[in-house]
Chains A and B, each alone.
Chain A
Amino acid sequence: MRTFLLFQRLLIKMNDLNDISLSEIIKLIKSKKISSLELANHFINNIKKAKKLNSFITTCFDQTIKDSKSFDKKQNFDGLLPGIPIAVKDLFCTKNIKTTAGSKILENFVPTYESTVTNNLWKEGAILLGKLNCDEFAMGSSNETSFFGNVVNPLENNFVPGGSSGGSATALAASLTPATIGTDTGGSIRQPASFTGTVGLKPTYGLCSRWGIVAFASSLDQAGPMTKNVEDCALMLEAMSGYDKKDSTSINRKKENYFKNLKKSIKGIKIGIPKEYRVDNMPKEIEQLWKNGIDILKKSGAKIIDISLPHTKYALPTYYIVAPAEASSNLARYDGIKYGYRSKKGNNLIEMYEHTRAEGFGDEVKRRVLIGTYVLSSGYYDAYYLKAQKVRKLIKGDFDNSFKKVDAILTPSTPSSAFKIGEKTNDPISMYLNDIFTVPVNLAGLPAISIPAGKDHKGHPLGLQLISKALEEQKILNIAFAMEKEIDFKQSLNRWWE
C-alpha cells in the first residue's frame, strides 16, 4: 500500500504540478495525495530556477517550509486554501516580511502588520511563498518601473509581462505559484493577465479591503485574484474578499460563495458590445478576437446588444488626473522621517526631503507626483481635478445606463498583446494608452474579469474583458466560466528560463 502511494505521488509529479490548476492541487492535498511540504518544495524549486524572470523581490522559503510542515502535522482542510503556498504582489504589507512596493524608498521596509487581504488568505490555510515584483508603487503597465528591475514574460524572453502586477502574472504563468493576488488601479491585474494568458479579476471597489495595501490612488485601488482558470479565480476571490471595518470604503455585506455558485449556464443573458471600444488603429487580431468572443457567447445562448458608452474617450485623461492627484498626496508620507530610505545629503529638513525623494523615487513615480501636485494646485484645481471628478460621474453614468439594458459588457482587455521590453519606456503616452479598455472600469468602481481568449500572429495571448454592475462578480465569473470552456485556450511553455 505504502509503495502504491509513493508510486502515485511520483506519478503526480511526472504529470507535473506545473500544468494543473489551483483547484486540482487542492483536490490532491485534500485527498492526501500530496503534502503541503511537497507542494512548497515544488514551487520553491521552480522559483529558484526562474531567476531570469525576476518575478520575485523577496522570498521567505524557511518560513514557507516551516509553515507547510506545521500544516502537515495537524492537517486542517476547513479552509478554502489548505496548506497552499502562494506568492503575493509586493504591495501587500506582510508582517515581518519586507514590503517594498517595488521602490527604493521602501527597500528595507519591514511591516509590523499584515494586510487584511493577505491575512484572509492565511486564515483560509494558505502559506506565503514570497513577494512579487511590480511597478514602483503600482505605477506602470509593463513592470519596467520597478526599482528591482523589470520582469520578463515567460512566453518569450525580451517581452514584458504587463503591469503593474507583472511579477504576479509572470510567477503565475510560469507556475512559480499556483495562484496569486494583485492590485488593479487602472488595469494592473487585467492587462498583465491578458499579456500572460491567465485570468485576472478586478472586484467591485470596496469588495476587498485596502487596509495594509501600499496606496497608489485610494479611490481606484482594488485587490483581486490572478489565476490559471476561472474556477480558481472564483475560489481566490471568495478567500480574499470580505468586509473590513478598518477600511471606511469597504462594503458591508455578506460574503458570497463564488466558487460553489459557479455555473456555466448563460442562456438568455444579455451582453452589451460598446461601439466606443472600437478604437482607431486597433490591430485586426484584436477585432477578430472580440468577434470570436461574441460568436461564442451567441452560440452559448446569450443575446448580443449594441450599446454606447459615449464618454469612454475621456476615461484615460480623467484617470491620469485623478490617479496622480491622489498618488501625489498618498506618497507624501515617504519623506525619510519615520521609516524607509533617507538620504544622507541635505543641511536642513527641506533639503533632506528633496534628496530623499529625488533618490528614493523613480522617474515614473516622480512624473505622477508632479502631475498630481499640478492638477491639485490652486488655480488649476477646478479646471483639472474638479472637472475630472465630474467626467468620472458621467463615465459611471454611461455604465449605469447600459446596465439597464444588459447584464454584462464584453470588450478586449488590451489594445495589443505583450510588447517588447524597452519598447515604450521613453513614450509614457503610448504606455498609458495600454490601459484604454481597463481604466473606465476603475473610474466607475465596477468589477471586470480578463480571460485568455486567443493568440496573436506571434503566438502571444490576448484577453477579453467582461464587465458587470457593481457586486455582480458572480455573473461575470459565470459568463467567463462558460466562455473559457468554449474557447479552450491552451498555452504550453517550454520553460526556457530554467
Chain B
Amino acid sequence: MKDKFDYFIKTENNKWEVIIGLEVHAQVTSKSKLFSSSSTKFGGKPNTQVSLVDSAFPGMLPVINKFCIEQAVKTGLGLNAKINLRSIFDRKNYFYADLPAGYQISQYKNPIVGEGSVTLDMPYGTKKVGIERLHLEQDAGKSIHDLSPDNTFVDLNRSGVALMEIVSKPDLRSPDEVNSYVKKLRTIMRYLGTCDGNMQEGSLRADVNVSVRKEGEKKFGTRCEIKNVNSIKFMEMAIESEAKRQVELIESGKKIVQETRLFDTKKNETRSMRSKEEAHDYRYFPDPDLLPLEIKQSFVDNLKNKLPELPDKKKERFINKFKLTPYEANVLISENNISEYFEEVIKSADIKLAKNWIIVELFAVLNDKNLDIKDSPVSSKNLANLVNLISSGEISGKIAKKVFELMVQSGDEPSKIIKDKGLQQQSDPKELEKIVKNVLEKNLDKITQYKAGKEKLYGFFVGEVMKASSGKANPKLVNDILKKELKK
C-alpha cells in the first residue's frame, strides 16, 4: 500500500490524470416492484412475476410503492444527502422488446435525493466523494438472445423492479478509489437494508464515466461512458483500459468522441456502442399517470430517527471506545453482521483477544468455507467462551486453536469439546513437576550449557515440556517449576 496518491497514466512525456464518475444502479430491497405488487424475488421461472402493469396492458396504471420511497429516502440520509420533499416521475421513451410500455418511469429533472457525499478511507488518507443525486426508476425486462438462433425471448420478471440510480460527481481518480467507493456505497446500503448489493444477481451495476487530462490541468477532457459494468473488478479493468485508450488517442493527435462504450471482459477493452449523434432522444416528460411525489418533513424525520448507526460513526466509536486500529475497525465494520458479532463477543470477553480471533481465525474459516458471518459455525457466544478460557489461563493459545478447529467442525461450545477430548490444562503441580524432571533428566548436557550462560535454551526446555504434555501444560506453572528446577 502506498501512502501517497499515485495513479497516473504515464507516457514518455506526460503524466495523465484519470477522472471518473459513477452512475451506480442499486436494486431497492423490496418484496414488490416500484409500481406494482409483483414479486421481485431473484431466480423465478421466466415471466412468472409479471403483473398487467409490468407488461403494460392497455389501461393499466402505475401506483407508487411507498416502501420503495422509504428505502430511497433512507439511502439518501445514509449518503448525507438533501432529501427533496417534492420529486417528479418522468417517462423516458424508447422502443425495445423488453420495455413493455415503450417507456421507463424514472426521475429526470426532480430526483427524490439531491447532493450528498461519501467518505473513503484510502491508504493516503480519507477522501470525500460528492454525490450528485439519487433517483428512483424501474428496471426493464431481459432479452434472451442465446436460446434460439431465430428468436429472441423476453423475460419480464425484472420489468418494473425498483432501482436507485446513485450518481457521483466526477471526484474519483483511480480504479482503487472506484473500488473503495462502490464497496462503501454497498456497505452503507447493507447497513440500511436498502440494497443487498449482490452483484451476481445484478442488484448492483454501474455506468462508468471516464476522461483524462494532463496532470495539473483544470479543464476536464471529453468523457466516454462505459455502460452496465457488473463487477468491481471489471470496473477497475474497464477504467484502466479506457483511460489508456484515451491517452493513446490524444497523444497520437486525435480527438476523443463523446460516446457510449461497452466493456469486453474477455478482450479487456472497451468498444463503441453508440456515438453522441446516435444517442437516443428519450423525450423525457413528467408521467401524467403519477402526481408529483410529495413527502412530509415528518416522514423524513421519522426515518432519520430510526436510522441504524452507519459505518463511519461505528468506525469512530470502535476506534475510540475499543482502541482498535483504523484497519481493524474498517474490517470489523465492513458488514453490519460482523460488527454485531464482534460487539456480541466483547460483551463478555477480552477485546484484544476477541478482535484477533475474529479477524484472523474466524475470517480464515469463513473465507475458506465461503460463509457469511451470520452462518458461522462458531457462534458469538461460543467464541466469547473460548476467549475467556484463554484469558483465564484455563487453556493455552495452542490448545485454543485445536479447540476452535473442533468448534468449527461440530458447532459445539468449547468447554464441552475440552472435556470430551481431554484437552484440559495440566495444572496439577505434582504431575507437572514429574514431566519437568523427566525432560531435564533427558537433557543433562543442555542444563550444563544453560548454566554456563546459554540462556536461550530456556525456551527449548519449555517447548519440550509442552510437547511432553501434548500442549496441555499450564504455561505459568511450567515456568515456575522449570525455573525452580533449573536453579537447583
**How distant is B151 from chain A, measured CB to nearest CB, in Å?**
11
* Closest residue of A by beta carbon distance from B52: A113
- Asked whether, in the complex, the Cβ of B56 is within 8 Å of the Cβ of A213, the reply is no
A419 within 8 A of partner (CB): no
A residues 325-349 in Cβ contact with B at 8 Å: 325-326, 328-329, 331-333, 335, 337-339, 349
A246 contacts the other chain (CB 8 A) = yes
Interface centre among B52, B91, B102 (most CB of A within 10 A): B102
Pair A247/B61 contact, Cβ less than 8 Å:
yes
Q: Report if B283 contacts A (CB, 8 A).
A: yes
Given the known interface contacts A219-B288, A329-B103, A333-B100, the answer about A248 and B61 at a Cβ–Cβ threshold of 8 Å is yes
- Indicate whether A385 reaches chain B with its CB closer than 8 angstroms: yes
Looking at the assembled complex, report how far the CB atom of B56 sits from the nearest CB atom of chain A, in whole angstroms.
4
B172 to chain A, nearest CB (A): 28
- Bound-complex Cα distance A353 to B59 (A): 21
Q: Known contacts A333-B101, A333-B102: does B288 contact A218 (CB below 8 Å)?
A: yes
Which among B52, B59, B102, B289 is the interface contact of A249 at CB below 8 angstroms? B289
User: Which residues of A lie under 8 Å from residue B63 when comparing CB positions?
Assistant: 245-248
Interface residue? A153 (CB, 8 A): no
Residue in chain A with minimal CB distance to B91: A329
B290 within 8 A of A: yes
Contact partner, A213, options B59, B102, B285, Cβ 8 Å: B59
For B57, give its contact among A113, A249, A350, A377 (CB under 8 Å): A113
Q: Out of B96, B101, B283, name the residue touching A378 (CB < 8 Å).
A: B283
- Residues from chain A with Cβ under 8 Å of B96 in the complex: 349
**Interfacial chain B residues near A335, Cβ < 8 Å:** 95, 102
A82: B residues at CB distance < 8 A: none
- Cβ of A93 within 8 Å of any chain B Cβ, yes or no, is yes
Q: Which of B55, B59, B102 has the largest count of A CB atoms less than 10 A from its CB? A: B59
In the complex the two chains form, is A212's CB within 8 Å of B59's CB? yes
Which residue from B60, B64, B103 sits with its C-beta under 8 Å from A332?
B103
CA distance A337 to B281 in the complex (A): 22
Mask: chain B, 32-76; 1 = CB below 8 Å from A; 0 = not: 000000000000000000001001111111111000000000000
**Complex contact B102–A332 (CB within 8 A):** yes
Q: Are A215 and B283 in contact (CB under 8 A)?
A: no
A213 to B61, CA, bound (A): 10
Q: Are A376 and B59 in contact (CB under 8 A)?
A: no
A residues less than 8 Å from B101 (CB atoms)? 332-333
- When distances are taken between beta carbons in the complex, the residues of chain B under 8 Å from A376 are 93, 283-285
Query: Within the complex, what minimum Cβ distance (angstroms) separates A351 from chain B?
Result: 12
CB-based nearest B residue for A92: B59
Q: Which B residues between 240 and 286 are near A, CB-CB below 8 angstroms?
A: 281, 283-285
Q: Are B61 and A115 in contact (CB under 8 A)?
A: no
Q: Quick check: A115 and B59 within 8 Å, CB to CB?
A: yes
Interface positions, chain A 83-127, Cβ under 8 Å from B, are: 93, 99, 101, 106, 109, 111-113, 115
Instruction: Tell whether, in the assembled complex, residue A211 and residue B61 are in contact, meaning their CB atoms are under 8 Å apart.
Output: yes
Q: Inside 8 A of A246's CB, which chain B residues have their CB?
A: 61, 63
Residues of chain B lying within 8 A (CB to CB) of residue A214: 58-59
Confirm or deny: A169 has a beta carbon within 8 angstroms of a beta carbon on chain B: no
With A248-B63, A349-B152: A338-B283 Cβ-Cβ less than 8 Å: no
Contact present for A339 and B288 (CB under 8 Å): no
In the complex the two chains form, is A377's CB within 8 Å of B154's CB? no
The one of A93, A245, A350 in contact with B58, judged by C-beta atoms closer than 8 angstroms, is A93
324-366 of chain B: CB within 8 A of chain A: none
Whether A218 touches B285, Cβ cut-off 8 Å, given contacts A332-B95, A332-B102, A338-B56, is: no
Would you call A173 an interface residue if the criterion is a C-beta within 8 Å of the partner chain's C-beta atoms?
no
The complex places the Cα of A391 from the Cα of B96 at a distance, in Å, of 34
Closest CB-CB distance, A120 to chain B, in whole Å? Answer: 15
Q: Which chain B residues border A219 with CB–CB below 8 Å?
A: 288
Cα A109 to Cα B97 with chains together (Å): 19
**How far does the alpha carbon of A350 sit from the alpha carbon of B95 in the complex, in Å?**
9
B101 CB to nearest A CB, Å: 5
Is the pair B283, A248 in contact by a Cβ cutoff of 8 Å? no
Residues of A within 8 A of B144 (CB): none
A115 to B52, CA, bound (A): 13
Best-surrounded residue of A219, A329, A377 (most CB of chain B within 10 A): A329
Is B59 in contact with A93, judged by CB distance below 8 angstroms?
yes
Please give, as numbers and ranges, the residues of chain B lying within 8 Å of A211 by CB-CB distance: 59-61
On chain B, the residues within 8 Å of A109 by CB distance are 58
Contacts of A215 in B (CB 8 A): 58-59, 289
CA distance A332 to B287 in the complex (A): 14
Given A325-B285, A332-B93, A349-B97, A248–B57 Cβ distance below 8 Å? no
- Complex-state Cα separation, A352 to B100, whole angstroms: 15
Chain A residue, CB-CB nearest to B58: A214
Closest B residue to A99 using CB positions: B58
0/1 interface trace, chain A 344-367, chain B, CB 8 Å (1 if under): 000001100100000000000000
- Taking beta carbons and an 8 Å cutoff, which residues of A are in contact with B? 93, 99, 101, 106, 109, 111-113, 115, 210-215, 217-219, 245-249, 325-326, 328-329, 331-333, 335, 337-339, 349-350, 353, 373, 376-378, 381, 385
Q: For the complex of A and B, list the 8 residue pairs with the smallest distance between their C-beta atoms, beginning with the closest.
A: A332-B102, A219-B288, A218-B288, A376-B283, A212-B59, A333-B56, A214-B58, A93-B59
A-B pairs with beta carbons under 8 Å apart, 22 shown? A101-B58, A106-B58, A111-B58, A210-B61, A211-B61, A219-B288, A245-B63, A248-B62, A248-B289, A249-B291, A325-B285, A329-B102, A332-B93, A333-B56, A333-B100, A333-B101, A337-B154, A338-B100, A349-B97, A349-B152, A376-B93, A376-B284
